[in-house]
Structure 1
Amino acid sequence: MNTLKTALALAVAGVSVAANAQLEEVIVTAQKKSESLQDAPIAISAFTAENLEQIGATSAVDVGEYTPNAWITRSLGSSYNIRVSIRGIGTAEPSLAVDPKVGVYLDGAYIARNAGAVFDVVDLERVEVLRGPQGTLWGKNTTGGAINLVTQQPSGEFGGKVDFTVGNFGSNRAAVTVDTGEAAGLAAKISYVKKVSDGWQDNISDIGEDELGSEDTDAFRLAVRWDITDTLSANYAYDRTDGEATAPATQVGFVDASTDPSVPTIDLGDFSFYGGNLYAGMAEIANDDDRLDKFDLDNMKSEEVEISGHNLTLSWMLGDLEIKSITAYRDYESDQNGLDLDGGNWVKFSAADGTPSPATGFHTVGEKEQDQFSQEFQFLGTALDDRLDYVVGLYYFDEEGREINPWQATFYNAANNINTLFNGNMGAWYEITGESQALYGQATYHFSEAWRLTLGARYTEDEKELILLEEDPGLDQDYSSKEDWSKTTGAATLAYFMNDDVNFYGKVAQGYAAGIYNPGTVGRGVGPANPEPALTPADPEETTSYELGAKSQLADGMVRLNAAVYYNDNENLQQTDFVDGVRRTINSGESETIGAEIDVTALLGEHWMVTANAGYSDSDYDDSSRETEAFKTGAAGVQYDTDTNLGHVTARFDATYMGKVGFSASDPRVHSDARTLFNARLTLSEVEALDGQFRFALWGKNLADEEYIEHGANYGSFTGYTWGTPRTYGLDVAYEF
């Protein structure tokens, strides 16, 4: 955090040296309308295309490092699923039946599952991270916040860009974008990106993939804009991602079972007994202090995904009223051909004759299919001589999902001092359907140039159905359960604009997430399976946030300083953990969260700019068994710009900080320690050649080669962690015409 403190001090102390420089205005759509970042009474981090380039971000995952109180990372055992938490509210569960708590939106359309939410959309115009519940305008499943991805639309002028990246660990990326120009009111933009990587971990097992963390992804996007009349326009976009990747290895952290070599194993598949305790071997390699890059894993195979989406947005202007329609459809398919979570290649021995055979700590395969449709109508306008601006919306959403996810897993039974192998008899076999309807509205009344009052409300109805499939080896028929919920959430904001540069706001906002099913909790063991735990949903999650914020442009527009403090009153947060050897999501009862955030950008003279932010969030649960620690984040950057005879030179250095993170609501031992990462980038741009401009950039991430845990889980008898990527570096070359 010393780097952060230094940057903040520079921002305050050095502003007097600036000369006729001002920060560029940032436009956001966090309130469904275009407005200045500084005028929006929301705690929001906005990253423009230029910002994304400066920090080397190519997806939503990358911006998490630079957002106060946010944690965005890939899920355990996947290269294409993400885990998002903002202000301490989120979920790490990739199940299709478990809703995320931070909504992800692409050009205004909701992406329902964090499964498949990591995909390469080229030409991002802006990424907006909205912190705190967004239950009025953005809807359910935004108790933590929302991420709004906005892509660049066709410009109407012919042009294009070719972008290449070469890096260590066999990392290569190529992107091509072409703007077709406009004809008869029609304009299009076509984009393609190819990403490959060898990964930074090796697998020495003769079975499975050799390169762990490897990736081969193709992404394509077509955007078409049609200005039908002066008042009616249509924007259509199609995106597709095809990828094949092998997940980074899960490294055993510590063993939470007996390591006595004499502890036997019973295979519940055929009730045979074996000797040799695999946990004794796991204990020998367990390591939660050092990052490993070589493994012997006998079930690591590729994950294949196909993701596609359609979005049609119509806009019709009727005087001061805009009528907007957003129609979207998305399809997601995934095949996890093999995932090895037990850290090694283990052997057990028959108690009868000593014959060796493979021993499984935790292996899994999986298939997922999900498709969704949404339709939203928005009515945006002004009234009362522009003193009142409003948005009214109607929203409909439905989805269908199917998952087949059998486990081979061994759990230690302390009562009987025995290991129990569930050979393909655990996991999840289910179909899930969901339907949601909502009516919402928000209006802002300008009492004067100084005072504004915003009121909003949303009424939501949800219905879900879970079908446990007969394919489950523990069931003899399909079992189903259907439940519905409804909720009205509201928000009120009072804003005071002291002058054109400084304003303050006080805000009360509610968030809501519908109840959820736990399809993986079918009771197992000797005898028939018990489906009742899976057919009983967890209760809805609700939160009410009280927030005070300030936004300011100081020193003649050279310093942007935004800050917020908040208090969340939470009820029944849905938290996922391993309970009795089963991964399930349960309600956490009542809890409170307090926190603070600050974000600074300052120009120091003609050439220098510094950025800094910090976040603090601390939760307290009424249930004393749930121990948590305050979550702390920070980031600081220094950037130097100057023009030379060759072109424009930009040099940037960043430091990002994340404090201790807990991965288990019931076991505080499962956590990562605090870490600081250093990144740098040197860019030469605006190099005129071949009737266009070239850009060259040398970059490095995690320059100090910090060893840190990225994610982790308690699997019942042991813990597993994925570790962050080591030092990476490379060269970007881009040509724009």
Structure 2
Amino acid sequence: MNAWKSVLGTGLAVALGSPALQAQSTAGEDPAPLNTIAVPQAPPPPPTPSTTRDTGAKLEEVIVSAQRRDESAQEVPISITVFDAKQLANANITNSSDLAAYTPSLSTNQRFGADNATFSIRGFTQELRTTSSVAIYMAEVVAPRGQSSQTSGDGAGPGSMFDLANVQVLKGPQGTLFGRNTTGGAVLLVPNKPSNEFGGYLELTGGEWDARRAQGVINVPVTEHFKTRLAIDRNVRDGYLRNITDIGADHLGSTDYLAGRFSMLWDIGEALQNYTIVSYIDSDSTGYSSQLYACNPNTVTSDFFLAFSGLLQAQPCQQQLDRQKAAGQDGFYDLVSTIKTPVTAIKEKRLINTLSWDINDDLKLKNILAYAHLHTENGSDIFGTQFRYSLAGVPIDPNPAREFKTGISVPNPDIPVTSQKTYVAELQLQGSSFDHALEWQTGVYYEHSLPDGFSGNNSAGLVSCEVATIEGAPSGFNCYDPLAGAVGGVLVQHYKTEYLNRAVYSQTTWHITDEFNLTGGLRYTWDHTEGYGIKTRYAWALATPLAPTEQISSPHTSSKAPTGVLEFDYKPFRGNMAYAKYVRGYRQGSVILAADPGVDTFKPERVDTYEVGIKTQFGGPVPGRFNLSVFYNDFTDQQLQLGYVSPTALQTTTIVNAGKSRIKGIEGEAYFQLLDSLSLALSFSLLDTKLLEQEDQTARVRDAGGPIAGFSVTPIADVGDELPYAPKQSYVASLSWRVPTAAEIGDIDAGVTYSYIGRQRSAASSSGPYGLLDAFSLLNLNLSWSHILASPIDFVMFGTNVLNEKYTTYTSGTYNLLAFESRVVGAPRMIGARLRYNF
């Protein structure tokens, strides 16, 4: 409670606020050239005046599409953070995990690396094998789904964050107007539309870690009514994680993608317009692996599984750490990966077509059709270990080429991790009635995601193997197990998952007076998921292969639910409002083919959200904005991860519905134009989350997976714990200064951004002493000189994490269960420069 009072008091005293809401973010406009520098979440130079009533404020208006129509961000009753193109570029934001560092209330789960990170907003988390709690939309179409063996799809991976007009982060349930029901929020990626002017740019970027990036955009108005735009992004950077084994790649965590987006805008007639986007992303990095960093010496216990794990792994764990230290290979970015093919490969193809018809001044019809295909491959050393099979520290495997693996995931030679196609169709009608006293929209939504064929991977756990052989055919597996497969082995997974989502929705705003408005919205959703899985387990008695066993499952689940919003707002002046609202949110249940039958389905989760807020802008000698929102979420049947080990599924996770959770918090954002050339922007988030009730799942897991499964049950949070990936406090501060120069010199801008992310839970308190991630802070700087000597050339120098903060983004939560702990670490300092030619 003291932390709440301290942060709230400080926040109100300095009028904290969102630095991103200063940017010119009108959807569909070309990104401004680099003559107006903006560091991440820092404002651009002095804004152009816009008329307000009575306040005298002169601030640049920010246009968002948070309610499926273009509106001023100050008049939308939603907590929003907006980034424009310059802010994304100067922060070197290339994927979703980068975005989270500069958005209070937004966090990421990076278990499978930054390329496959998933979002969490206000503590609403997407766990492994759940559907997204925060949906990502490109041009109003939700991101394609992935398969369920590993995290894939549902996000904004590499190659998505370029040539965008803006990115809008909407906080809180968005289950009325947007296609897929989500409890946490939505992230809207708004690409630049083709415009009437011929032009574009060529841009080259270089930096540390041999970073090389080239972007090119050309906008061609073929005729007055038909315009095109082509954007290409090629980005390469070496990995910052040093693999000390000389097996596979020497450096992990690299960037290597090619992305292209071609768009066409056709004004068919005065009232009819067609907008088409074709995009392609091909990313092939060296992937990410965890880093072993702690061992549990206290394994003498009455708990069978802990004692067993400690006997096998506690001493080899300490021996590995001792070897690394003696060799000088225990640096923060040093790790062990013995995967022959470490990889995170993502190929995504998308087609989006939007037909808009202005039937009359008061009625507009919009039809959206989309197709996407997602293909992913992954190979990672899940725990970063290199143990010899031993009992009480005595090696018992005669072949030193084999190593004892608790968990690895390697590419299957015949099938990918994901090969999934998604179809989306939405028909929407927007209008106004009774002389604009009512503004309304209604629509129907359809989404169908289905596999091309089997997807999956090969994994090994609690068995000693020559790791390279696991990537091949089962006949070549070289493994050893003195326990004759009692618990360990190699699992070859073949999965198919199909999703079907349908909904009808309607929302209406009644302008009771010029100042008072009442909004009501309702959505009814039907969701269905079904899967088909084949888990083939290979086991050994010493080095002799045993007959493989096969488990076939075909789980399915259906759910339906109403969601909606009831909101009242008061707008005394333009750009100023107070609002209060109630939102009912819902996230569908699903299936988990990697779990044992009996624990391979889970139910929907539901949330009741209550929120009040104010949005203000003011003039005077220091014009600015100040926004504040306070919210409370009553959460039932929250979908949380639970880990266990069984002979049929090996080390795996499932999803269970927690009984009840609570999330409450405060978010604030502000912007001050201190001088014509100097602006300050601040934002903060304060969260108080707690798991209130959780049913004991031990008996259910034991019935499904056997006695070992029951002994090894490990939830991601305990009753009384904070919810995962919900930092208690986070804030961002940005300062932007335009250096006074003569017009013939060009524009020189400097900016600094400081971001602080507080402690957040990654694993249950009962998992060991490492369940909480330490707080960390990031400092970004940039300096730009645009229109150099009145030329079309811009130059920018930038630095991200310039203080080289060392921080952790994920911990395995296995200290008590497996006698060791692993982690994923964040990116180090990056210093670079960018040169752009505008034409």
TM-score (norm 2): 0.78
Of 624-633 and 494-503, deviating more is 624-633
2:369: which partner in 1? 327
Identity of aligned residues (%): 27
Give 1:335 deviation, angstroms: 1.6
Deviations 1:158-178 (A, max 9, x none): 111111110101111110111
Match among 314, 317, 327 for residue 279 of structure 1: 317
**Map of 2:699 onto structure 1:** none
Q: Which amino acid aligns with 1:532?
A: G
The yes-or-no answer on 1:703 pairing with 2:782 is no
Return the offset for 1:353: 8.1
The CA distance in 2 between the partners of 1:598 and 1:315, in whole Å, is 36
Pick from 449, 452, 461 the counterpart of residue 409 of structure 1.
461
Change (3 A) 1:198 1:365: same
Q: What is aligned with 1:145?
A: 185
1:525 aligns with none
Structure 1 pair 85–428 and aligned structure 2 pair: CA distance change class (3 A): farther
What corresponds to 2:656 in structure 1?
A: 586
Instruction: Please name the residue that 1:599 is paired with.
Output: 669
Partner of 1:491: 565
- Is the Cα contact below 8 Å between 1:212 and 1:246 reproduced in 2? yes
Superposition pairs for residues 506-525 of structure 1, below 5 Å? 506-522=580-596
SS of residue paired to 2:752? strand
Among candidates 469, 472, 477, match of residue 534 of structure 2: 469
Find out whether 1:31 has 2:71 as its counterpart.
no
Q: Distance in 1 between matches of 2:441 and 2:549?
A: 49
What is the SS of the residue equivalent to 1:52? helix
Deviation at 1:246, TM superposition (A): 1.4
Partner of 1:550: 614
- C-alpha deviation, 1:719, in angstroms: 2.5
Verify: 1:119 aligned to 2:154, yes or no.
no
SS in 2 for 1:51: helix
RMSD over aligned Cα atoms: 3.2
**Is contact 2:96–2:117 with CA below 8 Å preserved after alignment?**
no
Q: Which runs of 5+ in 1 are unaligned?
A: 13-17, 523-530
Comparing 561-570 and 274-283, the one that deviates more: 274-283
Give, in whole Å, the separation in 1 of the partners of 2:324 and 2:247. 22
Provide, for residues 134-173 of structure 1, a one-character-per-residue CA deviation record: whole Å limited to 9, x for no partner.
Answer: 1111144410000011000011221111111101011111
Report the Cα distance in structure 1 between the residues aligned to 2:208 and 2:313, rounded to whole angstroms. 44
Report the Cα distance in structure 1 between the residues aligned to 2:608 and 2:809, rounded to whole angstroms. 30
- CA deviation vs aligned residue, 1:349-370 (integer Å, no higher than 9, x gap): 6977844332223221142212
CA deviation vs aligned residue, 1:48-85 (integer Å, no higher than 9, x gap): 22433454434443332222211136x22334212210
* Counterpart code for 2:736: Q
* CA offset digits 1:95-117 (Å, max 9, x no partner): 4xx20100110000011436243
Give the corresponding residue for 1:694.
Answer: 793
The 3 A distance-change label for structure 1 pair 256 and 571 is farther
* Pair 1:439-2:504 in alignment: yes
CA contact (8 A) 2:660 2:691 kept: yes
* Equivalent residue number for residue 611 of structure 1: 681
Write the distance in 2 (CA, Å) between the matches of 1:542 and 1:589.
11
Shift of 1:7: 9.8
Report the Cα offset of residue 11 of structure 1: 6.7
Structure 1 residues 541 and 507: alpha-carbon distance in aligned structure 2, compared to 1, 3 A threshold: same
Structure 2 unaligned spans of 5+: 17-45, 50-57, 146-150, 412-416, 465-481, 539-547, 646-650, 695-717
2:117 to 60, 77, 82: 82
Are the equivalent residues in 2 in contact too, given 1:696–1:733 (CA < 8 A)?
yes
RCO higher in 1 or 2 (8 Å CA, sep ≥ 6)?
2
CA contact (8 A) 1:19 1:605 kept: no
Q: 2:441 maps to which residue?
A: 391
Please state whether the residue corresponding to 2:591 is helix, strand or coil: coil
Once the two structures are superposed, what CA deviation does each residue of 1:176-227 show, in whole Å capped at 9, x if it has no partner? 1111123152111111111111111222323211111122111111111111
Task: Kindly indicate whether the alpha-carbon contact (under 8 Å) linking 1:291 and 1:723 is maintained by their aligned counterparts in 2.
Answer: no
Aligned partners of 1:560 and 1:63: how far apart in 2?
23
Contact 2:599-2:654 at 8 Å conserved across structures: no
Shift of 1:488: 0.6
What is the CA distance between 1:274 and its match in structure 2?
A: 9.3
1:274-673 correspondence to structure 2 within 5 Å? 278-282=316-320, 284=322, 292-299=332-339, 301-319=342-360, 320-336=362-378, 338-348=379-389, 354-356=398-400, 357-366=402-411, 367-401=417-451, 402-410=454-462, 424-426=489-491, 428-469=493-534, 476=550, 478-522=552-596, 531-534=597-600, 537-556=601-620, 558-580=623-645, 581-623=651-693, 625-629=718-722, 631-645=728-742, 646-665=745-764, 667=767, 669-673=770-774
Deviation of 1:420 (Å) = 7.6
The number of equivalent residue pairs is: 701
Cα gap change, 1:702 to 1:475, in 2 (>3 Å) = same
CA–CA separation in structure 2 for the residues paired with 1:285 and 1:596: 47
2:693 is paired with a residue whose SS is coil
Structure 2 CA distance, aligned partners of 1:6 and 1:734?
40
1:509-530 deviations in Å (ceiling 9; x for gaps): 01111112122112xxxxxxxx
Q: Distance in 1 between matches of 2:397 and 2:780?
A: 57
Name the counterpart of 1:62.
98
Q: Which has the higher strand share?
A: 1
- Structure 1 position 258, deviation (Å): 6.5
Partner amino acid, structure 2, of 1:212: L
CA distance in structure 2 between the aligned counterparts of 1:353 and 1:549, rounded to whole angstroms = 64
User: Which residue identity does 1:62 align to in structure 2?
Assistant: D
Say whether the 8 Å CA contact 2:176–2:521 is kept in structure 1: yes
